[in-house]
Amino acid sequence: MAAPRPEEAEARGLFSQGVKAVLGNWPVLQIAVENGFGGAYSQEKAEWMVGAVEQYFQSNADLEPEEVDGFLEEVMNNEFDTMIEDGSLSQVSQQLCLFFSHCQQGNDVAVQEAIERLAQKQQQARTVAAKAVAAEESSSEEEQETEEEAMECSTNGAEPSPAPPSGPDSEDGWTLVRKKKK
């Protein structure tokens, strides 16, 4: 096999970056990785997937987005036990086909700009997620303090609650509640 021309190697490298950017911004894949849907090696599977998608495009001429849909759907199902029903599969497939087409035509500028936009979008998503986590932690701490204060208030000067009755009315840890007699 002949060595690829420098332009082809450059196009392949750029396409690989594009695939990584597209998959890195795909919420379905990110959720699957973050939640370990692919098992202990979910992150490694996501990284492998970049190479597998790149190889799929290199090995098949003139792919249509529907064919890429099927490939991605199969990979997500087999590797991450994930069925995609949010409509994002066709968007990801179309974007990958567009990147591949641009790379084949030598339109590197369009691909570079799209990769940069995806990187900015990913950074914004991380910032929003970090703020949400910080707000959640702050809210959780406030709730815990409020609960502790409520518990302190309810026990100050109050008699301890009576122990649950035992005997014929309590069976297997359950307390039988009966209607009062009139």
Residue 25 domain-assigned? yes
Residue 107 domain-assigned? yes
User: What is the tens place of the pLDDT at every residue in 77-120?
Assistant: 999 999 999 999 999 999 999 999 998 888 888 888 988 988 88
In percent, the amount of the chain with pLDDT more than 90 equals 47
Per the structure, the complete domain to which residue 112 belongs is given by: 7-129
Residue 135 domain-assigned? no
Residue 142 domain-assigned? no
CA distances from 118 to 3, 68, 100, 125, 164 (A): 31, 20, 16, 10, 61
pTM of this structure: 0.65
**CA neighbours within 13 Å on the CB side: how many for 41?**
6
CA distance 48 to 39: 14
| CB atoms closer than 10 angstroms to residue 20 | 19
Average pLDDT, the chain: 81
Predicted pLDDT of residue 61: 81
According to DSSP, residue 160 is labeled P
Assess whether pLDDT exceeds 80 at residue 54.
Answer: yes
Selection from 75, 99, 108, 103 nearest residue 89 by Cα:
75
What integer is the mean pLDDT of 155-164? 54
Selection from 30, 56, 59, 53 nearest residue 43 by Cα:
30
Residue 143 domain-assigned? no
Band of pLDDT at residue 76, cut at 50, 70 and 90: very high
Residue 96 domain-assigned? yes
Residue 104 domain-assigned? yes
In 3-state terms, what secondary structure has residue 60? coil
What integer is the mean pLDDT of 158-171? 54
Assess whether pLDDT exceeds 60 at residue 151.
Answer: yes
Predicted pLDDT of residue 176: 67
Assess whether pLDDT exceeds 90 at residue 27.
Answer: yes
What is the tally of structural domains in the chain?
1
Predicted pLDDT of residue 118: 85
Residue 110 domain-assigned? yes
CA distance 178 to 176: 6
